[in-house]
Amino acid sequence: LNIKINSDNFGAITTMDIDIKMFQKFAKELFDVYTTLKGWAELKETYGNNFIIFKAMPNGHIYVNGIVNKKDTNIEENVLKLMIK
């Protein structure tokens, strides 16, 4: 799954290895968070450490938190830790 994150002047592009059944579950949970403003939904890699969580807050906002990283061919690692309120 291709992931693109933008927040003001900061952004990241990477891929996540997501199982299709888990993606369906995430999509339903995210829809429920959006429509009810309750609960949370997590997009998580099947065999990796990357994840993004969308959590409904009491003030009606949706809090986004997660870690997205990508190792390139030079064995360097870029890590994006995000928290958007």
pLDDT at 49 > cutoff 50? yes
Indicate the average pLDDT of the chain.
81
DSSP secondary structure string, the chain?
A: -EEEEEETTEEEEEE----HHHHHHHHHHHHHHHHHS-SEEEEE-SSSS-EEEEEE-TTS-EEEEEEEEEE-TTS-EEEEEEEE-
Extract the tokens encoding 73.
């061919």
**Span 30-49, mean pLDDT?**
92
The pTM for the full model equals 0.76
**Span 23-43, mean pLDDT?**
95
